[in-house]
Amino acid sequence: MKKTVFVVSFLMVITFLSPITYAKQPATESAQSGITYYTLTPDIITNYVINGTRLGYIRLQVDLMLTDNNQRANIEHHAPLIRDSIISIINQQPEQQIKSLAGREKIRQLSKQKINQLLVAETGHSSVNELLFTRYLYQ
């Protein structure tokens, strides 16, 4: 009886201490390397042309992956310029580009290149490593 109570007590102590052990593990590799994400808020909502006569609607949530956490202040300061560049790229795209996966990837790459060009001109640093569309809705 004492042996069973001891074993059960021992297992309970190990079970309760295991989350504490996991919580004290070192930070993840991304936190150590300085990678951070910046979400443009609110979502980008704009129109695109369908067949030259009608307008389509697109809503994007954009996350920027920054390799240098110190550049976050520059990104926040230039967020309106970043939003405007993404909107101008989308407005130039035909319906097929908006609706296809290959077109979406092309828009993403064009947006990333344009944003880095603008940031180099404004701050001297191209701090956006990746641009991600975490929400991409069109109608």
The answer to whether residue 4 is domain-embedded is no
Task: Look up residue 35 and give its DSSP letter.
Answer: -
pTM equals 0.73
Using one digit for the tens of pLDDT, what is the confidence trace for 21-74?
444 444 444 444 578 999 999 999 999 888 878 899 999 999 999 988 888 999
The answer to whether residue 49 is domain-embedded is yes
Using one digit for the tens of pLDDT, what is the confidence trace for 68-104?
888 899 999 999 999 999 999 999 999 999 999 999 9
Query: Do residues 133 and 104 touch, judged by C-beta distance below 8 A?
Result: yes
What's the CATH code of the domain at 113? 3.30.479.30
| H-helix or E-strand spanning residue 31 | helix 29-33
Closest-CA residue to 36 (of 128, 135, 126, 134): 128
Domain that holds residue 133: 29-138
The answer to whether residue 125 is domain-embedded is yes
Would you call 50 helix, strand, or coil by DSSP? strand
Find the length of the chain: 139
